[in-house]
Structure 1
Amino acid sequence: MTPTYRTLTDRTLTDRTLTDRTLTFRTLTYCTNIHPGEGWADVLDNLERHALAVKAAFAPDADFPLGLRLSGQAAAELDAGRVAAFRDWCAEHGCHVATINGFPYGPFHGQAIKEAVYQPDWRMPQRAAYTCRLADIAAQWCPHAGTMSISTVPIAFRAGFDESDWPLVRSNLVDALTHLARLRDAGHAMITLALEPEPYCVLERTDEVLDCFDRLRLPPSLAPFLGICLDACHQAVQFETPADCLGMLAGAGVPLLRVQVSSALRARGAAIARLRRFDEPTYLHQAVLRTAAGRMERYADLPQLLATGAGRGSDDECRVHFHVPIFLAEIDGLGTTRDFLEALLPRVPAAVPLEVETYSFGVLPAALRAEPLAASIVRELTWVKELLDATHRRD
Structure 2
Amino acid sequence: MRFHHADGTVVHLAYCTNVHAAESLDGVIAQLGRYAGPIRRRLGVPRLGVGLWLARDVASALVGDRSRTLRLRRALDDHGLEVVTFNGFPYRGFHSEVVKHAVYHPDWTTRERLRHTLDLARILAGLLPDDVHAASISTLPLAWRTPWTPAAAASVARNLEQLNKGLTDLAAETGRSIRVAFEPEPGCVVESTDQAVRHLTDTGDHLGVCLDACHLAVGFEEPASAVAKLAAADLQIFKLQASCALHVENPRDPAARRALARFAEPRFLHQTREGDHAVGTDDLDLALEGELPGEHSWRVHFHVPLHASPPPPLSATTDTLMDAFTALFGGPRALTHHVEVETYTWEVLPHAGRDLVEGIAAELAWTRDRLVGLGLKEEDVT
The normalised TM-score by structure 2 is: 0.90
Alpha-carbon distance in structure 2 between the residues aligned to 1:94 and 1:353: 18
Deviates more, 1:139-148 or 1:349-358: 139-148
User: Structure 2: any 5+ residue segments left out of the alignment?
Assistant: 377-382
Alpha-carbon distance in structure 1 between the residues aligned to 2:353 and 2:7: 42
Which residue is 1:342 aligned to?
322
Alpha-carbon distance in structure 2 between the residues aligned to 1:170 and 1:295: 28
Q: How does 1:231-270 map to 2 (within 5 A)?
A: 231-269=212-250, 270=252
Q: Could you tell me which amino acid in structure 2 is paired with residue 132 of structure 1? A: L
Q: Compute the displacement of 1:42 (Å).
A: 1.1
Which residue is 1:4 aligned to?
none
Q: Could you tell me which amino acid in structure 2 is paired with residue 347 of structure 1? A: A
Tell whether 2:373 aligns with 1:390: yes
Query: Are 1:311 and 1:317, in contact at CA under 8 Å, matched by a contact in 2?
Result: no
Alpha-carbon distance in structure 2 between the residues aligned to 1:256 and 1:370: 34
Percent identity between the two aligned chains: 35
1:25 aligned residue (10, 23, 27): 10
Alpha-carbon distance in structure 2 between the residues aligned to 1:176 and 1:92: 33
Q: Could you tell me which amino acid in structure 1 is paired with residue 56 of structure 2? A: G
Q: Could you tell me which amino acid in structure 2 is paired with residue 260 of structure 1? A: Q
1:98 aligned residue (81, 84, 104): 84
The 3 A distance-change label for structure 1 pair 344 and 193 is same
**Per-residue deviation, residues 211-261 of structure 1 (Å, max 9, x unmatched):** 0024xx43xxxx210011111001110000011111111111101000000
The 3 A distance-change label for structure 1 pair 379 and 176 is same
Which residue is 1:321 aligned to?
301
Q: Compute the displacement of 1:29 (Å).
A: 1.1
2:262 match: secondary structure: helix
Alpha-carbon distance in structure 2 between the residues aligned to 1:207 and 1:173: 19
2:265 match: secondary structure: coil
1:147 aligned residue (134, 148, 153): 134
Query: Are 2:280 and 2:292, in contact at CA under 8 Å, matched by a contact in 1?
Result: no
2:269 aligned residue (281, 284, 302): 284
Tell whether 2:57 aligns with 1:77: no
Query: Are 1:200 and 1:298, in contact at CA under 8 Å, matched by a contact in 2?
Result: no
Alpha-carbon distance in structure 2 between the residues aligned to 1:183 and 1:98: 16
Q: Compute the displacement of 1:356 (Å).
A: 0.3
1:156 aligned residue (131, 143, 148): 143
Query: Are 1:267 and 1:334, in contact at CA under 8 Å, matched by a contact in 2?
Result: yes
Which residue is 1:13 aligned to?
none
Which residue is 2:104 aligned to?
118
Q: How does 1:217-228 map to 2 (within 5 A)?
A: 217-218=202-203, 223-228=204-209
Q: Compute the displacement of 1:370 (Å).
A: 5.4
Query: Are 1:32 and 1:69, in contact at CA under 8 Å, matched by a contact in 2?
Result: yes
Alpha-carbon distance in structure 2 between the residues aligned to 1:41 and 1:86: 9
**Per-residue deviation, residues 7-54 of structure 1 (Å, max 9, x unmatched):** x377xxxxx99xxx9744321110000111211111111111000011
* Count of residue pairs the alignment pairs up: 364
Which residue is 2:345 aligned to?
360
Alpha-carbon distance in structure 1 between the residues aligned to 2:277 and 2:312: 27
The 3 A distance-change label for structure 1 pair 185 and 302 is same
Which residue is 1:209 aligned to?
196
Query: Are 1:268 and 1:311, in contact at CA under 8 Å, matched by a contact in 2?
Result: no
Alpha-carbon distance in structure 2 between the residues aligned to 1:93 and 1:75: 21
Alpha-carbon distance in structure 1 between the residues aligned to 2:355 and 2:135: 30
User: Structure 1: any 5+ residue segments left out of the alignment?
Assistant: 1-7, 11-15
Query: How large is the Cα RMSD of the aligned pairs?
Result: 2.1
Q: Compute the displacement of 1:59 (Å).
A: 4.0
2:362 aligned residue (370, 379, 383): 379
Q: Could you tell me which amino acid in structure 2 is paired with residue 375 of structure 1? A: E
Q: Compute the displacement of 1:138 (Å).
A: 1.1
The normalised TM-score by structure 1 is: 0.87
